[in-house]
Amino acid sequence: AGTLSQHDIQVIEASHPIPDERSVYGAEQILQLAKEATSISDNTLVLCCVSGGGSALFCSPRDGISLQDLQDTNEALLGSGMSIQDMNVIRKRLEKGKGG
């Protein structure tokens, strides 16, 4: 078993509740790390801790959808009075990392 040092931990801050460029960057970094790790060994464990507000912090737009599109949609959803569950039904159609 390997050991974990503080140099193995990367913290990426981003915007909440509306995703920003840092949210896209964070998602790209997480996906790249997972890809690299699994290319080394199928037994590699990648641990990603995401706290409350994770949907805004992990932003990976589907092809053809811009960050601005997601920001505008999220602002409209947040102002709509919809439940978070109903908002997430829409969000998962717009982003790669949502909805399981």
pLDDT digits (tens, 9 = 90+) for 70-92: 999 999 999 999 998 999 899 99
C-alpha span between 33 and 25 (Å, rounded): 12
pTM metric for this prediction:
0.78
Confidence bin at 34 (pLDDT 50/70/90): confident
> What does the block give as tokens for 61?
């737009």
C-alpha span between 92 and 78 (Å, rounded): 15
Report pLDDT for 61. 94
Is it the case that residue 94 has pLDDT exceeding 60?
Answer: yes
Does 36 or 93 have the greater pLDDT score? Answer: 93
The span from the first CA to the last CA of the chain, in angstroms, equals 30
pLDDT digits (tens, 9 = 90+) for 55-72: 788 899 999 999 999 999
